[in-house]
Amino acid sequence: MAAEQAGQAATVRHAAFAGSWYPGDPKVLASTVDRLLARAPAPESRPGKQVDALVAPHAGMMYSGTIAAAAFKQVAGRKYRRVIVLGPSHRMAFAGLAVPPVDAFETPLGQIPLDREALAQLRRSPLVSVVPGAHAREHSIEMELPFLQRVLEPGWKLVPILVGRMEPSDYATAAQLLRPLDDKATLVVVSSDFTHYGQRYEYLPFPPDAGVAGRLRNLDMGLFDRMSAFDPDGLLAYKQRTGITACGFGPIMVLTHLMKGRASPRLIDYSTSGKLTGSYESSVSYLAVGYFEPDPPATAAYTPGELRTLHGLARRALALGVEKGPGAVDPQALARGMDLPDQLKAPGAAFVTLRKKNGDLRGCIGDIMPYRPLYASIIGNAVSAALRDPRFMPVGPDELNGLDIEISVLSPPKPIPSYKDYDVAHQGIILRARGHHAVYLPEVAPSMGWTREHTLSRLSLKAGLDADAWKSPDARFEVFTSVTYEAPYAQEKSRVAKKVH
């Protein structure tokens, strides 16, 4: 419970760098931020397109303010309920994630209330703790706040998190902790500068000669390329190989796990302090990066032959995964030598459902967003449906011939204003509420004879909520359609069922 709710005065983390790293006078600060925003490039995202996350620098405003403004201009005028800011700790060493013991953060532009409920939820994990003093003199989060205060519609709450020393597996765990909080009404901001170059930073991988600017850019873009590929192992290997001194590497690792399959990163702007000062004896690199919802692929009309090809890939992946383990299944190797149509190689989202001959479910796993080639979605989810569905024991080799395989190729989800706009007879639905979510494919409700209201009640329970959660004001809905193809594991003769698009 927040201090003010308990009848106590709210505790505040006051601005530590106002008047030095950025203006301390509220009017001067507001006009400075607004001027930087006005000069920044036009937003990359179209109106209504979701911006899920940003990466912005945190140096003094005179150095990195132009690049920070380019990042935050992407969300100008948008309304969010929550902003999660992940920053590195420059002044204090600790393990895990550190959250502050206060009720609000303050800048000269005013106080920002913290999302105490979200922070309490995070603190249930042993990875998260209150580290006394960690936030008091740390600039990585504070430097982002004046921009957020100027660009966002009022009403949002802050979740400030410092990322300390982490094991490689901890980054995935941290992303898993944040995922229930990261709904459509949440913006994630990673605070990070990139390469710190020069004797001052004890990092001189190449001399400060005439080619240093180009080499610095190549070094920074190498890290960005691995961020764009959602490759946490590649990020770790790149840091080990190059020694790159990106101070927010830990928050970037968490973000890479968190955004995988959900958003497409785009470089918005890039510069260095060396370019600004004219001297590369000591230089820090700054990137502005936006993570945007993927552009929906063109609506594809899949032929029976194409669906049969996908089903065959699912069957082969299923056999290989069950008999030799999931590590033996390489989507590119399975598809090698096949003349796959372009639309099967384009990004696509699919579910694979396994059923016994009596119709009982034996496994179902899938993608909602099209973040990998469609054929790879089919192959990966066939293996996962057999071996990784937490509701069932793994499928054994002796079960294969007794299974039917159904593949469902999904259209991109689209938000709807109300549950009343959900067509229960033809659409799949995603419910998001109170940091939870659940999904039903289009065929579920019709096959069970459920009404819209009964479907939404069952969906709420599936999400781990009470049966009436779908009626709450914060409930959000997305719908999609699918094309399905079903056939026994052991034979090729199949039937195609097309859902309305």
Question: Tell me, what CATH number does 332's domain have?
Answer: 3.30.700.20
Asked if residue 265 and residue 319 are part of one domain, the reply reads: no
Work out the end-to-end distance of the chain between its first and last CA atoms, rounded to an integer number of angstroms.
47
Q: Which of 246, 270, 292 is the last residue of a domain?
A: 292
Residue 23 lies in a domain: yes
Say which DSSP state 22 is in: B
Residue 212 lies in a domain: yes
* HEC readout, 330-391: CHHHHHCCCCCCHHHHCEEEEEEEEEECCCCEEEEEECCCCCEEHHHHHHHHHHHHHHCCCC
Residue 24 lies in a domain: yes
Asked if residue 288 and residue 204 are part of one domain, the reply reads: yes
Q: Which of 270, 292, 314 is the last residue of a domain?
A: 292
pTM tops 0.75: no
**Containing H/E element for 173?**
helix 168-178
Residue 192 burial (10 A CB sphere; 0-12, 13-18, 19+) = buried
Residue 401 burial (10 A CB sphere; 0-12, 13-18, 19+) = exposed
Residue 6 lies in a domain: no
Whether the CB-CB separation of 202 and 98 falls below 8 Å is answered with no
Whether the CB-CB separation of 232 and 256 falls below 8 Å is answered with yes
pLDDT for 300 equals: 59
Report the alpha-carbon distance of residue 245 to residue 276 in Å, rounded: 19
Residue 11 burial (10 A CB sphere; 0-12, 13-18, 19+) = middle
pLDDT for 294 equals: 67
State the residue for tokens 């920053």: 87
Asked if residue 272 and residue 126 are part of one domain, the reply reads: yes
Asked if residue 194 and residue 68 are part of one domain, the reply reads: yes
Asked if residue 55 and residue 201 are part of one domain, the reply reads: yes
**Looking at residue 78, which CATH number applies to its domain?**
3.40.830.10
pLDDT for 321 equals: 94
Parallel, antiparallel or unpaired: strands 97-99 and 128-130:
parallel
Q: Which of 245, 261, 292 is the last residue of a domain?
A: 292
In terms of residue numbers, what domain contains 35? Answer: 12-40+51-292
For the chain, how many structural domains are there in total?
Answer: 2
Asked if residue 315 and residue 283 are part of one domain, the reply reads: no
Asked if residue 130 and residue 277 are part of one domain, the reply reads: yes
Give the number of residues written for the chain. Answer: 501
Asked if residue 319 and residue 263 are part of one domain, the reply reads: no
pLDDT for 44 equals: 61
Whether the CB-CB separation of 316 and 334 falls below 8 Å is answered with yes
DSSP SS3 for 19: coil
What token pair was written down for 413?
């989800």
> pLDDT in tens for each of the 501 residues of the chain?
344 344 455 699 999 999 999 999 999 999 999 999 999 987 765 545 578 999 999 999 999 999 999 999 999 999 999 999 999 999 999 999 999 999 999 999 999 999 999 999 999 999 999 999 999 999 999 999 999 999 999 999 999 999 999 999 999 999 999 999 999 899 999 999 999 999 999 999 999 888 899 999 989 998 998 898 788 888 998 999 999 999 999 999 999 999 987 887 888 999 999 999 999 999 999 999 999 876 555 445 788 899 999 999 999 999 999 999 988 898 888 888 888 988 899 888 899 999 998 889 999 998 887 878 899 999 999 999 999 998 899 999 999 999 999 999 998 888 888 898 899 989 999 998 877 888 999 989 998 999 999 999 999 999 999 999 999 888 889 999 989 898 887 654 344 444 433
Parallel, antiparallel or unpaired: strands 51-56 and 157-163:
unpaired
Residue 3 lies in a domain: no
Report the alpha-carbon distance of residue 378 to residue 209 in Å, rounded: 50
Whether the CB-CB separation of 408 and 490 falls below 8 Å is answered with no
Residue 5 lies in a domain: no
Sign for the pseudo-dihedral over CA of 252, 253, 257, 261 = positive
Closest alpha carbon to 368 in 338, 403, 328, 408 = 408
